[in-house]
Structures are given as C-alpha cells and as structure tokens.
Structure 1
Amino acid sequence: MRVRIQNSNIKGSITPPSSKSMMQRALAAAALAKGESTILNPCRCDDATAATGIVQKMGAQVIQDETAIRVCRNEEKSPEQVIVGESGLSLRMFSPILALNPEPVQINGRGSILKRPVHNILEGLEALGIECKNPGKGLLPIQLEGGYKNNTAVINGALGSQFLTGLLMALPCRKEDTTLEVTNLKSIPYINMTIDLLKDFGIEINHDNYKTFTIKGNQQYKATDYTVEADWSSAAPLLVAGALKGKVTLEHLNPYSYQADIAILDALKKCGTSLHWNGNSLTVEKKGLNAFEFDATHCPDLFPPLVALAVHCNGDTRIKGVHRLEHKESNRGIVLQKEFGKLAVPIRIEGDEMVIPGGRLKGGITNSNNDHRIAMALAVAGLNSKQAVEIGDHDCVAKSYPDFFKDLRKIGGGVAEFYFKSQFV
C-alpha cells in the first residue's frame, strides 16, 4: 500500500487524536487501582491496543464504548507472558510493573520493537534486585522474576524517561520506601506528565530536581475518572501543514499541557508562523518561513515534523538532539537523512546536530521505513513540493494516528492511495 501527496493548499479544522502516551499511563494506573476507573476521550491506536492487552493479562476487566473505557481490577493475575506489540512505552513502563509479582513473566514484542535494546531495563531492574534473564542477548524477549529486594538504585536516564515512568508507577506498590538516584535524565516533560497523572490516582512522588526520587511504599492507587488530552505529538505535523500551506485550526488542545511535544509551538514561533489561541482551539497560518535553531533533546519525536518544516524555510535550520533518534521505530536520524535525500534535500548530521538546508522539494519516491512519524513528516513536506511525493508503507501511521491521511485529506491535502509502485520521477 502506497500514498501519493500532491502540492495542496490547506484550510479547515481538525481535532487531533488523544495522546497515546497519556492513554497508556492511564491504563496502567487504572489496572493498579482497586475499583473501577473510567478513561474518557480514549486513544484508539495500535500502541493503546497493546497496553490494553497487557492490563487484561494482569487481571483487569476492560469494557470499551465509543466515548470511554472502563477498567476494573477484579483480581490480580500472574501472566506467564505478555506481548507489548511495537510499543516502546509499553515495554519500558510495564516491565517494572510486571516485576512487582515474584512469579516469572516473559515479555516479548513484534516488529520494530525486536530491534530495540533492553539493556537499560535489565540494568535498572537488576539494581533493584529483580532476577532478569535475557535469551535475546540485549534484545527481546526478557524474563523477570523474584520481585524487588533492594531499596536504592542508580538509574541511567540517558535513553529516555519511559523506564523511569514505569518505576515511578510500580514502586509505590511495594511495602518498603525506595530511593532512586537518576543520572543523565532525558525527556523530563514526560516525567512531569507521569507525576501529574499519578496524583490523579492518589499517588505521591517526591524528587530533588529530577536527580533523586523518593517513592513512599504502601501507597494505594485510587480508582478515578481520567480524561486523556488531545495529542501534541499528532498535532505537530498538522500544525506544520498549516504553517507551510495555508491555515488550519486544531481543536481541544491543552495550552498548558505537560506533553513534551507542545514545544512545537516554540519552533513555529521561531520560524515566523502566525499562532492564535481561542480557548482550547489553536489556529496556525502561513506567514514567514525563516530558518531556526531548536533543541529537541527532551522532545525527540518532534524531529520528523521539524524537518518537514525546515526544508521549506529560508536558510539552514539546526536541530539539536540527534543522539535521541537511534532507538525509535527506525534509526530516525539516518532515515530522515536518507528519505529527504530522495527529495533532493541534503541533510547533514554534525555531531549531535542535524542541519537542514531550506529550499523547495522536487518530489520523488520515498518509504516510511515502517515509522509512523516519518510517514507523517514526508506527507506534510509533500504538500509544498514541486512534484508529488510518494510514500511506501504509509499505513504504519496506525501506531499512533490511524486517521492521519483521512484528516489530511479533510483539510485539503491531495492524498491518493494505491496498491502499486508508480513510475513517476
């Protein structure tokens, strides 16, 4: 399956999907709470489906309807195996939660997740006394057993915040207090998101400038009603589309969100885009397109839409944080360089910075590399290309935003899907 994007003018209004990051956290918290929790405005994507399957394996009953998901923990189960799909967050977050039970559990996945390293998970859990087995020798599957035995540990946060999120969710369920010394923490906004969500479920986390986390034991998760925000990660490519080719309004966004990718607004302001808030509605309109400098170390998922923006700006744009891109659905730094190179954009990687020369795309045949954010970035860039941009394996957007191409078409994007490889150049 392939898609072709034609040069198009954009105008209209869209409500982005719900945040899959918040959705997965809410499912985990609800599964740890006694009683019934209701998750409103739930996210419907592949990663959310994977997380739902895990909490069901843990013993939670999940009832879904059009507007909400009810999660009720009737009993605790000790699953022998769980499958995380292709979800990096589910892998790193649920591993510490599943390790609460001393019975052996094997964790596996499928697709791109099988290529992602697990050494940081194993090192962190072993430091807390979990017995870990890794027949995959650095990759999935892993097996955890024995329960937590140690009350202090040093955790390396260099690869991101997701594993620490799992620890912050799991450790309040221990009898003992736990102290974590965290080094090189990245994606701090996501830790703020986790702590804020935990408060809604009755859990308190204390920290000293994100370096020392003190987690009181014997805390009880409280069932609650929780509303999932619209997703800033999914909003980002749509905002870039408006900045490049017209005017778009995104509804139901939280202007005070803890989501890291709200930082897309800083980049849009830097390049000269017009932004206007009206309550929770944000309108973006094409104005100036000037090169900019941006640090994406704590919001690496913004790299693809920022590249789609930068290739149309005047001058060279520099984005910092390339080291955060290696262990995503693809090696995003290399893939962005390769795929935009097919569109005649000579992206350079200089140390930890990506340098994107501005200009006009020439069009061409590309591939998503089964990375949902690459697919969306190529599509948005194609809206302002001289010739059409063709994207292979574009259906990978189901991982986070199944209706992306439908919504892009709704606001005027020239989107044509077909089942064969065209011959245009």
Structure 2
Amino acid sequence: MGNLTATRPLEPWTAPTASDPVAVTLRLPGSKSMTARALVLSALANGPSTLSGPLRARDTELMAAGLRGMGAHMSTSDDERWLVRPHRLVGPAHVDVGLAGTVMRFLPPVAGLADGRITFDGDPQARTRPLGPLIGALRSLGVRIDVAGDGSLPLAVLGAGHVAGGEVVIDASASSQLVSGLLLAAPRFDRGVVVRHVGPPVPSAPHLRMTVQMLRAAGAAVDDTVPDLWAVEPGPLSGRGWEIEPDLSGAVPFFAAALVTGGEVTLQGWPRSSAQPVDRLRELLQRMGGDVTLSTDGLTVRGTGVVHGLEADLSDVSELTPALTALAMLADSPSRFTGVAHIRGHETDRIAALAREFAALGADLTESRDGLEIRPRPLRGGVFRTYADHRMAHAAAVAGLAVPGIEVDDVACTSKTMPEFPALWSAMVTGKS
C-alpha cells in the first residue's frame, strides 16, 4: 500500500446507523469545482462578477483569500452572493493552499500575471500532491519559479506582471487540474496558450469540459476539438453573474444512502443542463440498483435496499470512488473499480487508505495499482481513519448506515468542501435536526 499519514487524535464521530429508509429533500452547498473556477475567472475579468449560491468551505475560502492577497477585491460576507471586483495583481503575497488541489494548481498561473513575488505552501500532506508538471509548463511559458524541493510545495512565483504564453507539452495524467490551471489564466497571457497532453489519459475529463465551458461563458475563445490538445486565444474575460450548481460529488454519499436503506433522496435546485457528470452518475447508481430521475423537484435517487456489485472504469469520475467503494461493501455481489491510479495523489493515497480502513472493519478487498476489488461480507464496527480526507469520511458514513459502531476519527475534515456534512447526515438518518 502507499504511504499514509494518520490524522491527529480527535474526538471520534459515530456514523449513525439507519433503522428505516431515509426520505429527505436536500439543498446542498454549491459545487466546489464551479466556485473555484468562477473565482479565478472573475478575478481575471475586465469588470465585476457575482457568484450566486457559491460553496463556502475551506477550499473555496482559501481560493478567495489567495486571490484577495494578490489584489482582487472579494466580498464574501453574504453566503448566497459573492462579489468579485478585479484589480491589478501584485505581490508580495503568500497563498495558503491548505490541502486544496484547485488552489495549488489554479493560482500559480495567476501569480505569474502578478507583479511581485507570490509564495505558496499548505498543509503537510499538500507537499506530496503532484505539482511538478505544472511548474515545468509555467517555466516553459516564461514564468520564473523558485522551488525548494523536487517539484512540489513550497514554491515562489516571481511574477513579472505578464506571461508570454505559447505552446507547452505536459503530462497531466496525475490530475486534470494541471491543464485547467493553465487554461483558466491563459486568456490573459500575451500569446494565450496551446496545451498538448502527452502521456496516459487525463483523468476526470468532465472537470476539463467544465473549465472549457466556463471559459467560453466568460468570453474566451477555446478550441478543444483535437483530443489531448487545448488552445486558448489571448483576449479579455467578461465580468458576469455565475449561477453555481449544487455539488454533485458532495451529493453522492446522500444518494448512496437511498440505495443502502431503500429510501429516497432528492437534491433540490438541480439544473436541466449541468456542467457536472450527472449522466455518468445516473448510469453508475442505476447499475448498482438505484433509480435516478430529474424533475422540477430536483434530482431524485430511489433505492430498494438491495445494492448490486459493479465493475466499472471510474477514471472520469474518480471523486466518486470512496462512496462507491462503501456501497460495494454492502452489495450482493463483488465489485471491481479501475482507472483511478491518480487518486493515490489526492488528499491522501485514497486507494491505500480505503483498502486499509475497510480491511480493519473486516472487509475482503484487494488493492491494485489503479483500483480496488471488493468481495462483500459482513463488516464490524471500529475506528475508521480519514487521513484528513473528506471523501474518506463520506465513505465511512455510507458504510455506517448498515454497520453499527463505525467511528470516524476526524469528521471535521469534511469542512474542506461541506462544513454542514455531519449535521445534514445525522438529520437525514435519524430524522432529527
């Protein structure tokens, strides 16, 4: 298994066990992915922007703080409506990335446009997350970067007030964010950018499509017609209103609860047309025994109480791996997930962490280079370590629906993307707010 670093001892949270089918209508916080991209595009625009329904969580607050430190004016006091007024980007400034891949990969290209020195560092685990390909790409585009280590945090961008841009080759097989970070800032580069990916497939393709869609919505000219090649023309970005969708990845544990308990969960405020991979999620949940419908009420998932095993390549929706692994533990047949080797470089080595923690609860599963094989059998309670990873806490919560006594060592790590998670989850399972 990969290297894992346990979180500090905290008061454990006992995942509630469901005695009845869940039946709940939820309004969840906004998409982390959309909020992060909207903040960057708004800070680089030629006029003010508003974000309606943004996600207020650690990752997005760090993104806003990083942009504010470089000079953008951010008004985030209203939970439902954030205002961004672009301003000249300057240093010196320091960006705390926390454990957020979006912050550590989206803001160094922005820092290249600033006039001055911008330093970056974050949580200890952040120093192990893949960043080298982005550093190399930015250097080839004319950005000066000082790196103390081996292509990871901490680092300093020595901004010159502009970035030459041009063509760059990158291996983005570790994270689609490596490409998105370059694309989001590219309209402000002198020559724009042409990014060519060379290497194993880029994971999480829906996130790249979201980047392209949001760039175009802000007025950028983007050509993504050639596979593994993205071209962004230089030009102004328009300030605009951004309507942030509910977070689909954050909703998945709640949808999983419908399958496990034979209940029904509706996510309110879901748009008819989404930038998130809702069709792929629908397919996966239906194969595992759920029924997924979209109506004026929202996105609804219904279960029968019987979960089916699943064999699937999850490379395009790797964020779903922890919750789907927990579902697979409770299924009526084996499951096999592949295509997610890159999640070893997420907040923790998710493959190793899932294998270790579920094995400690009695699970029969095998870790492979790029996934997991799960052979369901009865689980027992025990401490489930999160390694400061919010998705690990989500997985434990899903398993806890059917397995009494699962204690999550650090449920507070869910504040990374959904501070309300423990309260929302307990209210859904117990019926008490």
Normalised by the length of structure 1, the TM-score is: 0.92
Structure 1 equivalent of residue 14 of structure 2: 4
Q: Kindly indicate whether residue 301 of structure 2 is the aligned counterpart of residue 301 of structure 1.
A: no
Structure 2 equivalent of residue 173 of structure 1: 188
Counterpart of 2:392 (choices 362, 365, 374) is 374
Structure 1 equivalent of residue 119 of structure 2: 106
Q: CA deviation at 1:331?
A: 0.6
Aligned residues: CA RMSD: 2.0
Structure 2 equivalent of residue 256 of structure 1: 273
Structure 1 equivalent of residue 215 of structure 2: 198
Structure 1 equivalent of residue 36 of structure 2: 24
Give the counterpart letter for 2:327 in structure 1: L
Q: Kindly indicate whether residue 232 of structure 2 is the aligned counterpart of residue 220 of structure 1.
A: no
Does 146-155 or 113-122 show the bigger shift?
A: 146-155
Q: CA deviation at 1:283?
A: 2.2
Structure 1 equivalent of residue 137 of structure 2: 124
Give the counterpart letter for 2:251 in structure 1: A
Counterpart of 2:157 (choices 127, 139, 144) is 144
> Is the Cα contact below 8 Å between 1:408 and 1:415 reproduced in 2?
no
Counterpart of 2:100 (choices 83, 87, 93) is 87
Structure 2 equivalent of residue 419 of structure 1: none
> Is the Cα contact below 8 Å between 1:179 and 1:214 reproduced in 2?
yes
Question: In structure 2, how many angstroms separate the alpha carbons of the residues matched to 1:16 and 1:111?
Answer: 29
> Is the Cα contact below 8 Å between 1:56 and 1:62 reproduced in 2?
yes
Question: SS of the residue aligned with 2:151?
Answer: coil
> Is the Cα contact below 8 Å between 1:248 and 1:285 reproduced in 2?
yes
Question: SS of the residue aligned with 1:104?
Answer: strand
Question: In structure 1, how many angstroms separate the alpha carbons of the residues matched to 2:327 and 2:389?
Answer: 18
Q: CA deviation at 1:46?
A: 0.2
Question: In structure 2, how many angstroms separate the alpha carbons of the residues matched to 1:316 and 1:349?
Answer: 14
> Is the Cα contact below 8 Å between 1:104 and 1:144 reproduced in 2?
yes
Structure 2 equivalent of residue 242 of structure 1: 258
> Is the Cα contact below 8 Å between 2:66 and 2:94 reproduced in 1?
no
> Is the Cα contact below 8 Å between 1:322 and 1:354 reproduced in 2?
no
> How many residues get paired?
414
Structure 2 equivalent of residue 311 of structure 1: 329
Structure 1 equivalent of residue 408 of structure 2: 391
Question: In structure 2, how many angstroms separate the alpha carbons of the residues matched to 1:172 and 1:212?
Answer: 16
Query: Structure 2 matches for 1:43-58, cutoff 5 A?
Result: 43-58=55-70
Output one character per residue of 1:313-361: Cα deviation in whole Å (capped at 9) or x when no partner: 1111011123121111111000000111121112212342311112332
Give the counterpart letter for 1:235 in structure 2: A
Question: In structure 1, how many angstroms separate the alpha carbons of the residues matched to 2:432 and 2:385?
Answer: 16
Between the aligned residues of both structures, percent identity stands at 27
Q: CA deviation at 1:261?
A: 6.5
Structure 2 equivalent of residue 422 of structure 1: none
Question: SS of the residue aligned with 1:325?
Answer: helix
> Is the Cα contact below 8 Å between 1:34 and 1:221 reproduced in 2?
yes
Structure 2 equivalent of residue 14 of structure 1: 26
Give the counterpart letter for 1:220 in structure 2: P
Does 330-339 or 114-123 show the bigger shift?
A: 114-123
Question: SS of the residue aligned with 1:53?
Answer: helix
> Is the Cα contact below 8 Å between 1:290 and 1:314 reproduced in 2?
yes
> Is the Cα contact below 8 Å between 2:322 and 2:391 reproduced in 1?
yes
Question: In structure 1, how many angstroms separate the alpha carbons of the residues matched to 2:229 and 2:174?
Answer: 17
Change (3 A) 1:177 1:67: closer
Normalised by the length of structure 2, the TM-score is: 0.90
